[in-house]
Structure 1
Amino acid sequence: MKRIACAVLSGALVFVGIGNMELTGYGAEFSYKEANAIGPGINAAVGVNNFLNLEVTNPIVKPVDKYSYDQMERDIQALEQSYGDKITVNIIGTSRDGRKIYDIILGNPQAEAHILMQGAIHAREYMTPLVMMSQLEYALINYDTGRYNFKPVSDMLKKTAIHFIPMTNPDGVTLSQFGIDGIRSDELKRIIRTCYASDVNLGKTTDTFEVYLSKWKANAGGVDLNYNFPYGWNELSTTLTSPSYAAYKGTSPLSEPESQALASIADQYPWAITISYHSQGEVIYWTTSNNGAKMASNTLAENISVMTGYRMDSSDGKGGFKDWMQSKADAVPGVTLEVGRFPCPVPFSEFSTVWKQNKGVWVQALDYVSKRL
C-alpha cells in the first residue's frame, strides 16, 4: 500500500510524497524527482508520470560505449521506419568531413511552439548523443499512452514540437572515439596533426597523440564550435590564433558548417526554449551577462534541477550557442546541462546514472512550454 503525504498552501510550496517519488512545486506547477525508483502503483494513485518508470525491452537505441555517428545514423533510420508518423527527420547541414547533421522533430512540425535540444557540440562529450537518442526512443514508445502532470503527452506534442539534434559535431565525435583514422579527408588529417604539434609547442598538452585526440573538443578543422557563435565573439581571447583541440574561436563568427547548421534553423521556428547537452559536472548553466530571457531561463533551470538533482550556476559563455539565443532581440530561454561527474570522455560506467537523471528532461521541458501556451 502506497503512503501519500501532502501539504498544500495557497501560492506556496507543495510537497507530495508517494512511495519513493517526490513531487514538488509552487501551486499547481509540479516538477518531479525520483528519490530511488518510482513505485509501480504511482499511476493508479495519482496518474501523473505513468510512463517514466517503464522498462524498455529490446530497444533500437542500445546503450554502448562510444556511441558512434554511424550507429546513430542507423538508429535514426530504424526509428523513422518504426515511428515515421510521429517524427520528421531533417538534415540541417553537413560537417567539414561530409557527415550529416540531423534534426529529428518529435510531434507536429507545424506546432505553435518548438523546443530545440542539441548535443555533442564538443567532440569528447559523446555520451550526450546516446542520452538524447535514448530520450527520443523512450518518447516514441510512450507517445500514445504516456501522461505527465495529468496531460497526455500526445496532446502536448500537437502544440509543441521537440527538435532532437543529437550530434552537432559528428567529425569531432568520430575523431575523439576512433582517432585520426576516423577522419576521411587528408587535408583535415593534416590540420589535426598540425594542431597537435602547435599545442605541444604552446604547452597546451603533454599527452601522446592518441590520448590528445581522445580529449578533442573542436570540430575536425580545430575550431571550438561553442566559441563560434556571434554573441561576445569579438570579446573572446585572441591569444589562441590557430586551430587547436579546444578553445580556438575560428576566423569569424559562424565560420564553420556545423555552427552554420544550428544558426540556419534559429530563425525558422518559433522557439520556446533551448536545451544544450554537454559534459561534465552535474550542473545547469542557465544565464549569461546579456540574457534577454532571464526569468524564464531561471524557472526552466529550477524545474530541471529538481528532476536531475543538478545544481544551478551562471556562466558568461561568449561565443556559445545557448548564450547567443538568449542574447538575440527575440531572446529564447535556455539552459546548458552538464552530465556526468568524471572528466571527459565521461566513462560509460556512468551512463545508468546519467540516464536516470535525464530520462524525463524532454517531457519536463514539454510540460513547461505547454503550460505557457
Structure 2
Amino acid sequence: MNLSFTYMVQPGDTLLRIAGYFGVNEFALLAANPRLTHEAPLIPGLILTIPSANFIYYCLQPGDTLNDLTERLHVSVYSLLTENPQLDPKHLIPGQTLKIPAPIRSRIIQAKAEYGYRNLRNDIETMVRDYPFLKQSVIGQSVMGKPLPALRFGRGAKKVHVNAAFHANEWITTPLIMRFMEDLARGYKLGAKVRGEDCQSLYEHVTLWVVPMVNPDGVELVLEGATPAHPYYEELLRSNRFSERFQAWKANIRGVDLNDQFPAHWEAECERRGHDRPGPRDYPGPHPLSEPEAQAMADFTREQQFDLVIALHTQGQEIYWNYRDYEPPAAEEHARQLAEASGYRAVKLAGSDAGYKDWFIQEFRKPGFTVEAGIGVNPLPLDQFEDMYDAVQSLLLQALRL
C-alpha cells in the first residue's frame, strides 16, 4: 500500500539529504510539502510529509538483530527506526511486526545529496560492517574535535595513500574516494574485477590508506552554514566579510587553508599569497602545521611511509606531479600514465608551495600527485559526480598499478 508519514527536520538537513534518507524523489517531496522551495533553508523542527514508497511487513524472529535485518532487507538503520519509532534496537521482541520501507540502494555510497561528515561516519560504519576486512583508524582531530577517520584496504608491501576534502568546498571528493573504496571492497568480497583489475590480487599486493575528509569542520560550514550558536560564529562572519554564505569557503574553521600549511617553502607561499589573516581561502596560517588537521596528516604520513600519495581536489581535470625538481625521475612518466587512464592533463606546475603533495615530494623524494577532478566552479554540482567518478576510478586503479 502507498502511505505517507511525517518527519521533523533536524539540524543540518537539506532537501536532497531528506529525500536520500527515505529513498524518495526530491520533486515528490516538494509536491507533498507545497511550502517548501529549493531556495528556502529548512528550519529545524519543521514537520514535513514524506511520500512513501511501498512497504512490506516483517515479523521479528528469535535471534534477529538490527544489523542482520538491515543487511538482509537492504534498508538503512535510520529508515528502519524512523518507520518503527516503538522499536528498541537493543531489545528486539520476537513476534513484533515491523514496517519495512522498500529497499532504496544497491550501493552504500549514493552521492545523490550533499555529503558531509555525518554521512561519512555513517557510511564508514556500514562499510566496515559489510566488509570487515576494511580497517578503520583515527589519525587525529579537527579544530572542533571531530575525529579524522582513515580506511585501509589491502595488506600488500606497496603503500599508497589518497586523501580528499582538504578544501571545504571541494567536499564532492569525499564520496568519490568512498565510492572507490566500496568498489574495491565489493570486488574483493565477490572475487570480482573492477575495470579488469582483480581486487583480490590488489588486496594482496597493495595497502591503500584513504583519509576521505581532511577538513570536516569546513565541509560542515559550506554545507550547513553557521548560526549564532556556532562557537566560531563571530570570527567566521568577520573572515567572510560578514556574509552568511559560505559556499566559497575553502579553509578550515579557523580560516586557514590546510593545503598551504606544510613545511615546503612555506615562507615563499606566504609571500606569494599575501594574506596575513584568516579568511575563506589562501591564508597559510601563523606557522607551518599550526592546524591540527594538517599536523595529523603530516604525522600519519611519516608514520606510514607511503610509496605514493594522491591529494584529490577539484577542479580543472589536471594532474600536478612535480615540485621544485625534488620529484623522483619516474614521476613524469607516472603522471603521463595517470593522464592516459583518466583523460586528464598532466601539468608541470610552478609557483606553488606548502601543499601536502609538495611537502611529501620534498621530504620523501617519492611520487606525489595533486589531482584536480571535474570542471567548473567549486563546489561542483552533484550531477557531475558519475562522470567525475569514471575518470577518478580509472586514475586510481592506474595509481595502484604503478
TM interval, short-chain normalised? 0.7 to 0.9
2:263 maps to 1:178: no
Q: Aligned residues, how many?
A: 295
Q: Provide structure 1 residue ranges, at least 5 long, that are not aligned to the other structure.
A: 1-56, 198-207, 369-373
Query: Counterparts of 1:230-269 in structure 2 under 5 Å?
Result: 230-238=263-271, 239-269=274-304
How many Å separate the matches in 2 of 1:66 and 1:151?
A: 30
- Quickly say closer, same or farther: Cα 1:178–1:287, change in 2 above 3 A: same
Which residue among 86, 110, 119 is the counterpart of 2:164?
119
2:142 maps to 1:107: no
Residue of structure 2 in register with 1:214 after alignment: 247
Q: Percent identity?
A: 27
Which residue among 338, 359, 366 is the counterpart of 1:304?
338
1:76-115: per-residue Cα shift (whole Å, max 9, x none)? 0000001112x1100001101121211101112xx42210
Which residue among 205, 210, 228 is the counterpart of 1:159?
205
How many Å separate the matches in 2 of 1:341 and 1:266?
A: 29
Helix, strand or coil at the partner of 1:76: helix
How many Å separate the matches in 1 of 2:113 and 2:325?
A: 38
Q: Which has the higher contact order (CA 8 A, sep 6+)?
A: 1
CA RMSD, Structure 1 to Structure 2 (Å) = 2.0
Helix, strand or coil at the partner of 2:280: coil
Query: Counterparts of 1:1-373 in structure 2 under 5 Å?
Result: 58-85=106-133, 87-108=134-155, 111-144=156-189, 145-147=191-193, 152-181=198-227, 185-186=230-231, 188-197=232-241, 209-211=243-245, 213-238=246-271, 239-293=274-328, 295-316=329-350, 317-328=352-363, 330-368=364-402
After TM superposition, the score normalised by the length of structure 1 is: 0.75
How many Å separate the matches in 1 of 2:223 and 2:172?
A: 11
- Quickly say closer, same or farther: Cα 1:312–1:362, change in 2 above 3 A: closer
Residue of structure 2 in register with 1:49 after alignment: none
Q: How far apart are residue 172 of structure 1 and its match?
A: 0.7
After TM superposition, the score normalised by the length of structure 2 is: 0.70
Q: How far apart are residue 196 of structure 1 and its match?
A: 1.9
Helix, strand or coil at the partner of 2:330: helix
How many Å separate the matches in 2 of 1:216 and 1:267?
A: 29
Q: How far apart are residue 364 of structure 1 and its match?
A: 1.6
How many Å separate the matches in 1 of 2:253 and 2:325?
A: 30
How many Å separate the matches in 2 of 1:264 and 1:129?
A: 21
Q: How far apart are residue 184 of structure 1 and its match?
A: 7.0
